[in-house]
Structures are given as C-alpha cells and as structure tokens.
Structure 1
Amino acid sequence: MNKCFFLSIIFFCLRTVVFSQTFCIKGTVVSSDTQAPLEFVNVVLSDKDGKILQGAVTDSLGRFNLIVDSHVQPIGKDLIFSYLGYESVRQSVDKENFGVISLTPSVKALQEVVVAGRRSPFSMKGGTFTANIQRSILKDAGNAMDVLRQLPLINIKNDIVNIFGKGETLIYIDNKELHSNEDLLKLSSKNIKKIDIITTPGVQYSASVGAVIRITTTTPDEGFSGIIHTKVQRGEDWSEMLLTNLSYAKKGFSFFADYSLQDLRMKQKQQTNVEINGLTHNLIQSNNSLNLSRRTHSLGIAAEYKVSEKHLFGIKYNHSLIGNGHYKIYGATTAYTGSKKDAEYSQISHYTPNGNGGNMNMFYKGKFSKWSVDFNADYIYGQTKTSASYDNNEHVKNVRNIVNSNSKNDYRLGATRLELSRAIGNSSVLFGADYARTRNNSYYNNDDMDLQNDLPETFTTNKQDLYSLFFNYKCNPYDFDIEMGLRYEFVNQLYYMNGAKRDDQSKTYSNVFPTFVISRPFFHEKMNMALSYRRVVNRPSYYQLRGDVQYNSPYSYEAGNPLLKNTYIDDINYTISYLDLNFIASYKLYHDKILFTIDQFEDKAITISRFTNVDGFKKISIASVWDPTFFKIWNPEIEVGFEKQFFKLSNANAVNSYNKPYLYISLYNIIRFPHALSFVTQAKCWTSYHSGVSRERNGMFVDAYLQKHFLNKTMALKIGAENIFNTYKDKWEMAFNTVNYKKDANDDSRFIYISLIYNLHNAKKYAGKGTRNSERNRLNTL
C-alpha cells in the first residue's frame, strides 16, 4: 500500500507539471571558440520595454529549461543570454527549442544580467550537490578546506575528507586530482567559483571511488600570482605549517612552483583493557603515553604551454620527504591469568619513520572538430622505512628484554589515461581507456630469536596490471536528466612471498561496473529528485595484503592478510531537494566486506590485529540538510543524519549482532560582520554506534574561529580553536571471537591556532588532472 501511495504522489507531480506547462523554452549554451558547454549562463525572458518576466540558469551541460507561466505570452518576446566575460545574445522567441546557442568571448567582461527574485546559492540535481561560492557568504570563509567544512554531507577528521554514507572520496581543483589536501589550504575561498559534491560518480572515475568533490575556480590573473599561508597551533605541544604556491602566466606560457613544510608535534594518552576468553581467561591492562614528532617537506614545479585555444600541454613534478620523525611510547602493562598476576611490564618504545617519494604528471588537452581529447600520464615512486626498538622490563620475574625490528616498503606506479568526449545536441558522450602498472614490495624482520617462529623475516611482492574501458552518455529527454555508463576492468595480480610465487594469493578479476542516474526538476526547478544505481569495488591496500606478522608488545601483534578479496558494493541512492532543504538516502549491499578485527593469536595470551572478509553486510544512510542564508550575513546549516549497518556474526555457540545505528546532528554558523570580519562555529554530536565489529562511543565537539580580512581582502588573519571542550575522544570497544578489546584515548585534538594568509592575485592552477587512478590510494605513500 505504501508503494502504491508513493507512486500516486509521483504521478500527481508529473501530471501537474505536464498539464500546467503551456510553453517550455529549452536549449544548450556553448562557447563559440571551444564549443564547451557554459554553466550558470543567465537566460532571461524580457518584453520589448526591457522588463524581465522570467529567468533561468544553465546547468553543468549548458542546458536550460525556462517554463513560461500560463499568464505570459512568450511569442514575440526576447530571450537574452548573458554570461560574465562573453558578449550577450538576444533572440526573438518564435519556438520552444532554441537548439545550440553560441556565446562569443568578449575582450572586456560585461555586466551580468541579474535574474529577478531570490535564487539559493545551493542546489541539488542528479545526485550532485552544487554550492555557488561566489553567490554565498562562504566566499569569505578563508581557504578551500574552511569552505568544505561548512558544506553538507562532508565530514573532515585529521584533514581527511569523507562524504557521509560513501567510501573513498576524490577531490579535484579545476579537473586536477589532488594528491595532498595541502592544495585545499593553498586555495583562497574568494577564488572558488563553485563546488560540486558528486554522490554517484560516473564511469570515467575508477570503480573504487565512492564520491567526488569537484572545485571550480574563477578565471586566473595573468602575470605573477600566488599565495602564502602560515599556521601555528598549540595543543599539548606546538606545531607549525608553511604553504606557498607561486605562478607566472604570459602569452600562453605558465610556470608553477610550490613548497610546503609541516612540523607536527603531538602528545597522546591511551588506556586499553583486553580480555581473552580462550582455553584460559586472560586480562591485559595497559596505560601508554605517546610523544610524536614529524617534519614533512614537499616541493613541486610545473610548466604549461598553450599552443592555441585548442591545444594545451603540461608537465609537473612533485617530491616529498619525511625527516626527523620520532615516536616515543612510555607504557605500563599488567597481565593476569584468572585472578593471578602473571607479569607487570614497563615498556619504552622508539619508532623512527622516514621516507621520500615523487610524482610526475604529463598531460595534453586538445580539440579536434567537435571532439575534446584529454590525455594524462602519471609516474609515482617512493619508499618508507621504520626502525623500532622495544625495551621491556618485567618486574614480577625481574627480566629485561629488548626487541629491535625494521620494516620497509617501496612502490612504483605508472598509469595512462585517454578520454574522448563531445556534445551532440542536448546530449554528450564520453569514451575512455586507462592502464595502471603497480609494483609494491614490503619487508619486515626482528632480532629476537625467541620470536622467529611466530614473527619470521618476510619479504612480500605484489605485481598488478589493471586495464579498463569506459563509456558514458548524458541526455535530456522530456525534461529528465539521464546519465548512464559502463566500465570494464580487467586485473591481473601476482603475489610473491620470499621470492616464491603464491598461486592462492595470485588472482585475476574481470568485472563490469554500471552506473545509472535519472533526475527531473519540478515546480519551476524549485524541486529536484534523482534516483541512481552504481556498482563499486573496494580493493584491499597493499599494506593490508602484506604477508608478515609484526611485533608491537609482548601481548600484541599485527599482521597482513594475503588472502583478502575485493569488496563489491551495490549502491542505490535517492536525493530530493526543495529550495534550501536537501535530503539524501542510500542503500548499500556489500559482498566480501573488509573489516578490521582483533583476534587471539593461536592459543596464547596475545592479540593479533588484521583485516578479514565477511559476507551478509548491508547499510542504509539517510541525511537531511537545511542550508539557508538570512540577511546576506548569516548562513546557518543544520544537518541531521542516520546510518545503520545490518550484520550478524557467529562466534563459537553465539550469534552477535552489530546493528546499533549512528545518529548525529551538526550545526554550522557563519556570521559576517562589517569591516570584513566573520565568525564561524561548528558543533556536532552523535550517539554510540557499531562500525564493523567495533562499537564507537558517543561524543561531540565544538570548533570556532574569528577571521579578519585586510588589504582589499588579499590578506586574512584567523584565530580559532578546535574541540574547545575536549569532548572528542577516540573511545571504542570490540567483541570478536574470544577477544573483548576496549580503548580509551585522548588524541590531542584540542588546540588553539593562529594563521595568516596572503593572496597575490588569483593564482593560475596547473591544468593536468592526473589519471584518476585509485591505485595510488592502495600504496603506503607519504
């Protein structure tokens, strides 16, 4: 009955729209020089006296639909097309379908025609949430990371950006894939034109990508430009950061250089309580304090040459290294068998990580007749090393034991990608192919002869070749927006341990990944609904696939799992938006879900952490966002979300359910005052919930900052604090097989900071977008 009721509502909406619209003017607006579609073109219906009657704005494909009110007679009226930097076009209305309208770039930007009435800077269409930053008070938020923190569905923790209900998220700035979120800190919010949050990425993206964020910037200035960003913060210790990005553009040539330095120092405290209910009952209690220091450098150079308006070449190289890395852990551990105290340890551990790596990109963008060509090639290489020393003093038996270990990882990735695309009337097609060749080696050893049987010296090699073909089609029949695509991937993976090929771990995959999105606007585009389906794959990282078992303490090991299989996900999404209110719901069915587990090592009083596959895992995610702007100075955003996993696991003679839902509410507030001053607060609270087989505890946090612009908004001073009340904790527990594991950690997430940003003009961005290959995220890079 509910199904029939829902279908009746949809039919009523469709009938209302179809029979009430007497005249619908449609068409596609493109640039005359490149034939590329133009987004956000103002399309205005005007009478002969110049009075604006109605208006519309083109979408990302340059399309517009202007539904004329029944009381307006459009025949004989004028249709005006206006876009910043282009000559306006005026045509008399004598038909509904205007086909393709070409706008010619002007030497001097013309003043935009403003559509009468209020139009929200935020919209959702076809499963894509779009924020027009230039038309919102987020224009003065600070940098791109500050803007993302204020957008719905985005969660940022430790500068890692995730989309609610989705997995891996790729971020692009002007079609360039980001390999480091430092680029978000280098981009001023006033230079951002719009941000698209794509919850159902097309097949041109890797099948393992769960969501995409695309940031489009405003037109860059020629000549010399750049940005300098410094930040100092104080938590339990001091940390500093320096980011610079410089560019020079003149007569088709562009040169780029950037440098970043991050000096991180943190102090953490944690308590763990472990029960092992195996052949005997064991209890291990630990208290640890961690001091972390790490310095990271990154340097990049790039160049572009624009041969003509139709041909652009570029090359870029970036190198990163870790220096002066040192982690020091002071720990105390007490172990019991039944009620008897077996051991009492004090432990001092030293970790010394270091490494370096490079990334080179070459690209070509061209136009041949009506076809656009985009070619990219990437080469990524690097290595990481960690030396560790564990000094254990056992006080019950008065025994001292020192364990030294070394681990090393090196990697190589070469990838190429070719895309061909063109517009055909109100539709567009895209063909493409890519190839990725990955080589990853990992090594581990320790010097304790008593541990050699359990933790032997291990050398693991992964060799993988990935081939893919994809096709995507977009069209606009009967006011519906439809996108459909297919992606085919063939993977050949060879696995070697200590020089010998392992047939059980060597695998071949051949898969097809479809994508389908359908959406339609209603009520003069005030409402939009979309339904989508996509099949996704999550491949285990090479770190998870390693073959070694590593030492952490006398009671704790960690290991890779060479037998891990790919996780396949069927993802169904539904979105609806009405003015400032947005709603999204998704259902995911997982096959061979990869979960983190802590289990008992053999029959000993030792835990082992590793990843494993499980089946029968499902998840639903629902979120609603209200994002209005009041009086042009106040932008509150209220987001409410619900997520629930459905999973049961048999342990011995019992069946455990891990179904506790995740509920949260978040509030963002941006208030803009006179004299270029703004105040931003963010608060979020959530309930206790299950994530995999662990149970995360409830929590909350409150962040705030005050920002002041100087020198015609080229300089910004920001003073702020995060986790003000120190209520955000890393607190969770896990019940898996014979192990009950509890952790309570203070991860040094409360701090105050001050930052200074100086923008010298609008810096030009390097146009190479990379191969969009998710293989990079499987590597243990810096």
Structure 2
Amino acid sequence: MTTLKLCLAAIAAMLGVATAMAQTEKKDSVNYSLNLQEFVVKSTAPRTKMRNGAMVTRIVGSPLESAGSVEDMLSRVPGMMRMGGQLQVIGKGSPIYYINGRKVQDLEELKRLRSQDIREVEVVNSPGAAYDASVNAVVKIKTRRQQGEGLSGRFDVSDEQALKSGNNNLTSTLNLNYRHEGLDFFGGVTFQNDYLDGYRSLLEQNTYLKQNTNSIVSHTQTGYTQSDQKFSRMFFNAGVNWQFDDDNFIGVKLERGIWLKNRYWFEMEEDVLRNGVKEDYLKSESDIKYKNPNTLLVNAYYNGKIGKWGIDANVDYYSQCDKNDNHVNEQAMSGMRTVESMTENKSHLFAARLIAEHPLWTGKLQLGGEMTTVCRDNDYRISGVDNIFDRMSNVNEQNYAAFFEYGIMIPKAGMLTLGMRYEHVAFDFDDKTDPSRSVKRNHDDFFPSLSFGTRLGTVEMQLSYGVKTTRPSYYQLRSEIDYGSKYTLQTGNPLLENEIRHSLDLSGRWKWIAFNVNYLHIEDAIYDWTSPYDDNGVVMIGMVNFDRPIDVFCAFVNLSPTVGVWTTSNTVGVQKQWLSFNLDDPREATGKRHVTYDKPMLIFNSDNAFRLKRDWQLELNSQFYSKAHYRNVRLLQAYWNLTAAVQKSFLKDKSLVVRLSFCDIFNTAKQDALLDLGNYTLKQGDVFGEGRGNYSFHRVALSVRYAFNATKSKYKGKSAGEAAIKRM
C-alpha cells in the first residue's frame, strides 16, 4: 500500500507539472511537451482468497514456495493443521488430495513432491455431490504450468535424523519428462529407507469386574511398550499423455509400489496386579516379517470438450497384496509360550467414473456416475494358543453412484448451487470358517448438498450444507481375533454400520483475513472399544457404532499479512464436541457411570518467514494444541512444536535448493492420553507417536533439490476409486 501511495503521489505531481507547463505555454507561446513512458503501480495481493466457497492459497511467489515437501507446505496452509503427524483440515479430519485433477493414491507422494513445483492449493471444506459421499474435505493441488520441449528432470534427496534416538528417514526421488509437441512421456522412481528405533510408550490398563459375591475385582496392567522397524521400499511411475488440441487430453499412467524389506519388532513388559497385589509378570516380544507386499495402479483417462459439453472420464484397476508372519515369544510367571500367526490379504478393484458438464441458462449443470467393484480375500492362521482359531473370509462390494449439481448466478445476490448424490452399495462378507458370521446387506442412500456464496462489500462469504458418510475399512470389518498378548486380544466387527454426518459451514474472507465456522452432527460414529473378555484381566479391543449422536463445533480465523521481507500466517481456532455415555462400571452402586467428553481444544499455529537478499530464507514456525477431549479420548497435555529452518537457492536459475531445518526444538510435540470406557481405562504416553511416521519430531532434516530444463507433465487423469482404495 505504501508503494501505491507513492505512485499516486508521483502521478499527481506529474499532472501538476503538466498543468503549469500548459499555463506557461499560453503566456509565453512556447510549446512544451511531456511524454510519460510508463506507470507501474504495485500492491500486495492477498495470499489466500475464496473461490466457489473454497480457501485458495497462492504458493508461487510466497514463502510457502520454499517450505520443502508438499506435506510440510500443507501443514502451514490456512485451514489445515498437523495433528499427531497427520495432516487435517481443521474441523473435518483427513482430506483426500488431488494433484492437477488426479487423485493421490499414496500419501507418500506428498513427501516426494516439492513445494517449489506448486502454484496454488485449494481447501474445500464442504465437498459437493460430485465427490464420493465418504469425502469430508478435499485439498486440490495445482502445479506450475511450465512450457518446454525435450528432456527435463528433477532429483531430490532428503535425510531426517532424530536427535534422541536412532530414528532416520532417507528419501531420494528422480523424475524425468520428455515432451515433443503434443506428446508427453514421463516416469519416476523413489527410494525410501527408514530406520525407526526405540519408540517407547508407558501405559496403564485397568479393568473392573463384579464377582458373584458382589465384590469388585480390579485387574491392572502397568509397564511399557517399545517398537522398532526397519523397512525400505521403491515407488515407480510411468505414463504418456497426448494433447491433440487445445481442449482435449488423453493418457495412461501406471504406478507400482514394492517393499524391499519390512520388519517390525514390538516389545511389551508389564506387571499384572489383582486388587493391587502383583499376580503375574509378562514380557512379550513380537517379530513381524512382511513378505512381498506390493501395489499396482493403472489409470486411463480422457479430459476434454465435445461441443459445449465438458467431459472427464477415468478408468482404474488397482491390486494390493500383503502377507505377514508374526512370531511372538511370551514369558510369564506361569511359563513360556510361543504363538505363530500368518495373515495374507489379496485385494482387487475396478472403478470407472464419467462426469459431464454443460452451460444451462445462466448457470452450469454437472452430471456424473461412478462404479466401483472390490474383491478382497483374507486368510488368517494361528497356532500356539487354544482359544483363537483360523479364519478365512471374502469380501465383495459393489458401489454404483449417480449425481447432479447445478450452480446458477442470481443477479445482485450471489451463486446458488444445488446437488444430489445417490449411492447403491451391495456388501457381501462371506466367513468361510464360520458361515453364521457372514453378512449380506444393501444400502440405498441419498446425499444432498446446498451452498450459497455472496459478497457483502469487500467481504466474500459462503454458507454450505451437506450430508456425508464414513464406511468402515475392510480391516475393521474382519472377523478373526488377533493375538496381542496373554491379556490383550483384538478383532473387527462385520456388523459395523456406516457413519452419517450432517455438516453446516460458513466461510469467508476479507483482505488478508479468512475464517470458517463449522457445525457437525454425527450419527452411528465408529470407534475403537475395549472391554473385559474374561474374569482373568484379558481385554478385547474391537469396533462399535455409538448409540447416540455426536455434535462438534469448530471455528478458526487466519491472519496472513506481509510486511516488507516478513510474511506471517497465524491461525487461531477452537474445536469442541458434545459427547456423553452411560457406561458399565461395577464400582458404582447403580452399575452405571455417566462420562462426558466435551473439553474444547484451543489451536494456535504461527508460521513466519523472512525472505532475504541473495535467495536466503529464514523461518520460525509454531504449532500449539491445548489439552482437550478428542472423540472418546482425553488428551492430558498440551502439544507444542517449534521449528526453525534456513534455505538457500543456488545457480542463476535457482535450480539448486538446499534446506536445513530443526524440528520440535524443545522436544514438546507429544500428547499423553486417557481412554475411559467405564469398566476399562487405558492411560498411554505420547499416544500419537506411533502413528506419525517417524516416532520423533525432535530431529534435524537436510534436503537438496536440483531441477534441469523444468517442464511439467500435462497428465490430467483422476483416479476413479480413491475411497475404496483408502479403505484397503
């Protein structure tokens, strides 16, 4: 704005000079002329804006451009946050991702892609009828559109080393692209080697039972768990894209993932007490070997225009195979025991999707249909334990969907969009070992959506309503019992129902201020549930649908101004849920105990970047989440992650980039948790650690990126089976 004022003042001064010269010309009859060659008026455009109700953040030309991996960049985009190492859209949970219209099948791709390649990111809080009914939020990533012929490529290597353990993550990627006129040939390979050592967690489990004498018996297991993992894997992709005119594209892409090595060790040591008196000691060591797990995805697409119709067609084939052997050595006061188990899964998917759009009156009509067929075979065998048996099962599921969406511009009011999605799902679970546990069911559901966007002065706003669902994963639907230890068993639940969510969203933007308010009503929510299995302290971990709805409120505001070389993005938010249970608890006179989970979570994220001369950039970023209740878990401590980074670009075209970061400087990115289910409680230290990929955020990371003759693949394929693949 300062630059703009100076330019306007300069214009006014020049006009004053011109007026004075004109007056002088009249008096002295001398002809003066002033030629103004060019005026440049500069201003800073807002980095985040609204487009069709979505938050769109410009990456190119901003400090986020040099954040490192796309995964690191997304954690700092307004409307997103990282919780327990997982990227989430605030208030909506984990999203699905699109890169140039193609659905991301493997989230590791977000680590392999670099932020320098990204043009903008669009966060959709309220996906419409065009998306699968299980999609809560969508993140669309658009890369830079670069032109060029011939061979181009990019090489990336990064290494992350934890400071207080042996955790190390090494990743290297090579991508090549050859372009000639309308043809685009591309391919790439990524190698990843992880050594995850010594993730340790303290835990305490309690179960309470009432005996025939009406006395209360408590079983307590207290000790620690430790896990280690070594694995290496490779990802390959190759494809061809043909742009045969300005509006029409066709292409094929193949993606292959291969695990070269994957071995996981798990150790648990605990004391077992009965009514406070030590009754047993347990030390369990598990050695899990994964044999030849691999994935294959083939996608073919057409994207273009036929007359006034816009066409987007995709066909997918996806297969996944994994097998693991689990060898458990268990030492207790009663003696030694060895348990052997084997699990093998084979999955195949075929999916097709067609979307067509056409102008209609003063708006646009979009029609579409999808078909997904999944076949999954599971074989589970176990020996060394008496009360658990082999299981063989097969899952067949067909999902047929059709939708329409119509958006119309109402003069002097705004944009109104109506949508409806219909889905027919036929689910067949065949338990070949115990036919009485087989399940067959059909679902026929309608999912409406409605949104209205308008502008009030300089404020852009959109109000949206939609109905969505969450389908249980195939792992959650399994029937076999997994052996964890002498006192811990785990199983699935083929009878799980789909989770239904009603969502009401209000989002808006004014200059460099963006906000979102969301209310969520959830029915038949799917949760882990643990309960006593017998009178000897054994517990069973399973899955249930809650018998009462959950209400969740979420609101956040983001401030993203730029002052000179300093760009800052600050998100302040709150997330609160209303959830309560009447739980079985023999310690109470009534046998029931009322439990509430309604403590709000306060969120404050602050990202600060300083862009200095000679292509240097300094960063200081912070993420904070308070103690809170999250689903049926009580988070017992605040989470804080402070990260600093320095980055430098080299060479004339800035094609060589080196980045060094120090993550979780004070080693405070942890959260302890308490699970209270009435007659069962579990307290665990650093509950999110094992799910965050590298166990420790407290680490140093170094990455180097080099690109030559930069061109981008024009591939526009969009996977048709993302939701089903994710459930695998």
- Helix, strand or coil: the match of 2:658? strand
Tell me which residue corresponds to 2:420. Answer: 486
Tell me which residue corresponds to 1:326. Answer: 263
Partners of 1:212 and 1:536 in 2: CA distance:
13
Quick check: 1:776 aligned with 2:722?
Answer: no
Tell me which residue corresponds to 2:28. Answer: none
Partners of 2:83 and 2:343 in 1: CA distance:
27
Please tell me whether the aligned partners of residues 468 and 490 of structure 1 are also in contact (alpha carbons under 8 angstroms). Answer: yes
What are the residue-to-residue correspondences of 1:585-600 with 2, within 5 Å? Answer: 585-600=517-532
Please tell me whether the aligned partners of residues 165 and 586 of structure 1 are also in contact (alpha carbons under 8 angstroms). Answer: yes
Partners of 1:404 and 1:724 in 2: CA distance:
42
Partners of 1:158 and 1:689 in 2: CA distance:
14
Partners of 2:109 and 2:679 in 1: CA distance:
45
Quick check: 1:136 aligned with 2:69?
Answer: no
The offset of 1:475, in angstroms, is: 2.0
From 700, 703, 706, give the equivalent of 2:646: 706
What are the residue-to-residue correspondences of 1:518-557 with 2, within 5 Å? Answer: 518-523=452-457, 526-557=458-489
The offset of 1:699, in angstroms, is: 1.9
Partners of 2:294 and 2:449 in 1: CA distance:
38
Partners of 1:204 and 1:197 in 2: CA distance:
16
Tell me which residue corresponds to 1:204. Answer: 130
From 665, 670, 676, give the equivalent of 1:724: 665
From 139, 149, 152, give the equivalent of 1:213: 139
- Helix, strand or coil: the match of 1:138? helix
Quick check: 1:228 aligned with 2:166?
Answer: no
- Helix, strand or coil: the match of 2:490? strand
Quick check: 1:671 aligned with 2:618?
Answer: no
For residue 230 of structure 1, what is the amino acid of its counterpart? Answer: V
- Helix, strand or coil: the match of 1:776? helix
Shift in alpha-carbon separation, 1:772–1:162, aligned structure 2, 3 A: farther
- Report the TM-score, using the length of structure 1 for normalisation: 0.81
Please tell me whether the aligned partners of residues 504 and 518 of structure 2 are also in contact (alpha carbons under 8 angstroms). Answer: yes
Shift in alpha-carbon separation, 1:463–1:400, aligned structure 2, 3 A: same
Q: 1:244-268: per-residue Cα shift (whole Å, max 9, x none)?
A: 2211111211111111111111120
- Report the TM-score, using the length of structure 2 for normalisation: 0.87
Please tell me whether the aligned partners of residues 314 and 353 of structure 2 are also in contact (alpha carbons under 8 angstroms). Answer: yes
For residue 231 of structure 1, what is the amino acid of its counterpart? Answer: S
Please tell me whether the aligned partners of residues 220 and 764 of structure 1 are also in contact (alpha carbons under 8 angstroms). Answer: no
Tell me which residue corresponds to 1:348. Answer: 285
Quick check: 1:743 aligned with 2:684?
Answer: yes
Shift in alpha-carbon separation, 1:170–1:418, aligned structure 2, 3 A: same
Quick check: 1:391 aligned with 2:363?
Answer: no
Please tell me whether the aligned partners of residues 188 and 759 of structure 1 are also in contact (alpha carbons under 8 angstroms). Answer: no
Tell me which residue corresponds to 1:302. Answer: 239
Q: What residue ranges of structure 1 are gaps of 5+ in the alignment?
A: 1-49, 52-111
Quick check: 1:475 aligned with 2:412?
Answer: no
Quick check: 1:517 aligned with 2:451?
Answer: yes
From 138, 144, 152, give the equivalent of 2:78: 152
Q: What residue ranges of structure 2 are gaps of 5+ in the alignment?
A: 1-10, 13-37, 211-216, 585-591, 690-694
Aligned-residue identity in percent: 21
Tell me which residue corresponds to 1:753. Answer: 701
Please tell me whether the aligned partners of residues 256 and 766 of structure 1 are also in contact (alpha carbons under 8 angstroms). Answer: no
Q: 1:77-132: per-residue Cα shift (whole Å, max 9, x none)?
A: xxxxxxxxxxxxxxxxxxxxxxxxxxxxxxxxxxx998865431211244310112
Quick check: 1:564 aligned with 2:496?
Answer: yes
From 693, 702, 712, give the equivalent of 1:763: 712
What are the residue-to-residue correspondences of 1:74-89 with 2, within 5 Å? Answer: none
Tell me which residue corresponds to 1:644. Answer: 576
Tell me which residue corresponds to 1:434. Answer: 370
From 265, 268, 277, give the equivalent of 2:208: 277
Tell me which residue corresponds to 1:695. Answer: 634
The offset of 1:320, in angstroms, is: 0.7
From 439, 448, 452, give the equivalent of 1:505: 439
Shift in alpha-carbon separation, 1:160–1:224, aligned structure 2, 3 A: farther
Tell me which residue corresponds to 2:509. Answer: 577
Q: 1:194-246: per-residue Cα shift (whole Å, max 9, x none)?
A: 21111111211101101111122222333222221101111122321111221
The offset of 1:426, in angstroms, is: 4.8
- Helix, strand or coil: the match of 2:672? strand
Please tell me whether the aligned partners of residues 411 and 440 of structure 1 are also in contact (alpha carbons under 8 angstroms). Answer: yes
Partners of 2:62 and 2:570 in 1: CA distance:
16
Q: 1:253-297: per-residue Cα shift (whole Å, max 9, x none)?
A: 111111111111112011111111113211111222221111121
Partners of 2:475 and 2:435 in 1: CA distance:
18
For residue 767 of structure 1, what is the amino acid of its counterpart? Answer: K
Partners of 2:265 and 2:208 in 1: CA distance:
31
Quick check: 1:163 aligned with 2:89?
Answer: yes
- Helix, strand or coil: the match of 1:146? helix
Partners of 2:670 and 2:63 in 1: CA distance:
32
RMSD, aligned CA = 2.1
- Helix, strand or coil: the match of 2:669? coil
For residue 626 of structure 1, what is the amino acid of its counterpart? Answer: L
Deviates more, 1:563-572 or 1:160-169: 160-169
- Helix, strand or coil: the match of 1:473? strand
The offset of 1:588, in angstroms, is: 0.8
Q: 1:295-319: per-residue Cα shift (whole Å, max 9, x none)?
A: 1211111112223334322111111
Greater RCO, 1 or 2 (C-alpha within 8 Å, sep 6+) = 2
Tell me which residue corresponds to 1:23. Answer: none
The offset of 1:737, in angstroms, is: 3.1
The offset of 1:366, in angstroms, is: 2.7
Please tell me whether the aligned partners of residues 680 and 704 of structure 1 are also in contact (alpha carbons under 8 angstroms). Answer: yes
The total of aligned residue pairs comes to 662
Partners of 2:539 and 2:670 in 1: CA distance:
23
Partners of 1:305 and 1:113 in 2: CA distance:
42
Please tell me whether the aligned partners of residues 464 and 493 of structure 1 are also in contact (alpha carbons under 8 angstroms). Answer: yes
Please tell me whether the aligned partners of residues 568 and 590 of structure 1 are also in contact (alpha carbons under 8 angstroms). Answer: yes
Please tell me whether the aligned partners of residues 351 and 721 of structure 2 are also in contact (alpha carbons under 8 angstroms). Answer: no
Partners of 1:582 and 1:385 in 2: CA distance:
47
